[in-house]
A and B are shown apart, each in its own frame.
Chain A
């Protein structure tokens, strides 16, 4: 049994993520499992002590990509509901940057879907973090998202209908 994707809770936020609210949101009487992923700001990066992180996003596209992830895990796994919140702006060490909750009648698909969601988010959602240290700041090394193969010449010259 699967809810349509429009019953999922998918958010970009600039304040503290309310993890309990996300868990309550996905949890229903027919569920036997809720699996969560809590991504939090580490106190160091490559042996340098982190002061804080700044996250920025291509917000409209990021939200669209998060919706695609939710739709994909509904299609792939026998889950109930999905909640995904990613925080943007300045985050201090120990704060939650991303939280994912997946409910399902049984635990295995909930674990699988939650893992798939965070792995895909980190590879495909246009969000960037800059790490600040006592002696400077760097953009975090990221992942290059997979891109469709080059279009054929006929396609490129008449791609008006492409959405």
Chain B
């Protein structure tokens, strides 16, 4: 019998319009070890449905590096979903 996946805690950062939607700059969240960035975004969008329409324009980061959405998460990861950047 397989054991249920262990839950791990990750921090999720929000910037720009996502921070305005969520109403916070950071959430600490628990998710099953090995879950993907996509899974984590879905969890965030379940809590804040106004996030969902932005999914197509966001890029995901894990530990301050741009990362594919199917990358899996580990305890202590720092995750962010970034809107298109407009510095300069």
Contacts and interface: CB of A to CB of B under 8 A. Distances in A.
Nearest to A88: B87
Interface of B: 13, 15-17, 34, 36, 57, 59-61, 63-72, 74, 80, 82-88
A125 interface: yes
A139 B71 contact: no
Interface stretch (A2-10, A17-25, A105-113, A154-162): A154-162
B59 A127 contact: no
Interface of A: 39, 55-58, 60-62, 64, 86, 97-98, 118, 121-130, 139-151, 153, 156-157, 159-160, 162-163
Given A64-B64, A129-B87, 10 more contacts: A56-B16, A58-B61, A58-B64, A61-B64, A121-B87, A126-B82, A142-B85, A147-B68, A149-B68, A160-B74
Contacts, number: 105
Interface-central residue, B17, B61, B64, by most chain A CB under 10 Å: B64
A128 B16 contact: yes
Nearest to B63: A163
A55 B15 CA distance: 11
Nearest to A151: B68
